[in-house]
Amino acid sequence: MSVRGWKYPETAARLAAAFALANEADNRFITYTPSSRPGVIILGSESDKEGLRKVIAAAKPNQLFSLGKSQVLAWLAGLLQTPQGIADLRGGLMAGAVDMKPDTLVENLKM
């Protein structure tokens, strides 16, 4: 799915939805590279692509944000556990725009 940049609440909401959908079964993955520019979140499955399509079709969009919010926060916390992870994330964000920071995603998830 396409997303706007890191600082937009819609990006946080779509990331939460992707995490919620990925959590519905094993062997699912999410690919997302934080950026100040528009990009994509890729939700995939290592084996059961048809099952993934069914989960997406049956999903209730209004529930996906609340289901995935804690998962995104856990993902972000995992990235920020080591000095290397902090440098990688913060450095990547700052390369896109000097005002981008991890806290922006947290704030957007609280909306």
pTM: 0.85
pLDDT, average across residues 88-92: 90
* Domains in the chain, number: 1
Q: Quick one: what percent of the chain has pLDDT higher than 90?
A: 49
What is residue 96's predicted lDDT score, i.e. its pLDDT?
84
Q: Quick one: what percent of the chain has pLDDT higher than 70?
A: 97
User: Tokens representing 24?
Assistant: 């519905």
CA distance 32 to 51: 21
Q: Would you say residue 25 has pLDDT above 80?
A: no
Give strand ranges (E) for 33-86.
39-45
What is residue 4's predicted lDDT score, i.e. its pLDDT?
92
What is residue 52's predicted lDDT score, i.e. its pLDDT?
75
Nearest 5°: CA angle at 66, between 25 and 93?
Answer: 90
Nearest CA-CA partner of 19 in 61, 56, 51, 64 = 64
**Mean pLDDT comparison of 25-29, 53-57, 88-92, highest-scoring range:** 88-92
Q: Give the residue numbers spanning the domain of 35.
A: 2-109
pLDDT, average across residues 27-48: 87
Q: Would you say residue 49 has pLDDT above 70?
A: no
